Amino acid sequence: MTNGFFNVSTIKEEPMISFRRLPVLLGAVLMLASAAFAQTGTITVQGQNPEAFSLTDTSGNTLSATISFVPVAAPANSTTVASDTATVRMRSNKAYKVSAQAGTLNTTGLGSADGGDTISLSDFGFGIMSVVNNGANVANNPGRADAVVSGFSVSSWPAATNGLTPSFGKKLSDITAATQVLSGPRISTKGNLATNNNFVEVTFGVATLPQYFTPNTGFSTVITLTMASQ
């Protein structure tokens, strides 16, 4: 319909088309605004893995083993020494060394020497009987090499000669000061004290020959093992 200057139908239709498009255009603008104001943040996880070494018994507890000679057999016509062992499990996250130190030999109920000899640290042999290092989570297997210091490796104890203290390779009297006895590369690839295959197992042995020493009701010494970084 026209009235000379305006087309009335055109005027009514064009606004209707514009309003139908408006929601679509507004949605596009809002999406662009959301993308433009996105933000990021960070979470930092940090900590430390210090050097770690452990000496435990075979149950994973703090090492406190006892080597017992109670009672030491009476002197006899024998060349065989009395001996006992203590087994230690060692773990580390880097190369290690182990030192051993024997304290004073204390006696109780000591009788009169009457010119005789009293048992002493030099009457005890000391050494490492075995080193087992083949666990699945032990580093550098196969081909691993844990080194026992010369003189401290003991496969068997020597026999006595003439009923006197044998010629032990090393004695407790050789470790009255902290003395290195063992060393090696990193032990544990991972795991902790609850892991059953990430340790090196070392068996230490002590031996003595029963003789006519000054009588006593007991003797004792404490061997302290220290594991540290090379």
Among candidates 128, 152, 151, which has minimal Cα distance to 200?
128
Domain locations in the chain as residue ranges:
53-229
When the pLDDT of each residue in the chain is averaged and rounded to a whole number, the result is: 88
Tell whether the model's pLDDT for residue 48 goes beyond 80.
yes
What is the spatial distance between Cα 51 and Cα 187, in angstroms, rounded to a whole number? 12
Mind listing the pLDDT tens digit for each residue in 124-151? 999 999 999 989 999 987 889 999 999 9
Q: What is the mean pLDDT of residues 84-103?
A: 97
Looking at the whole model, is its pTM more than 0.75?
A: yes
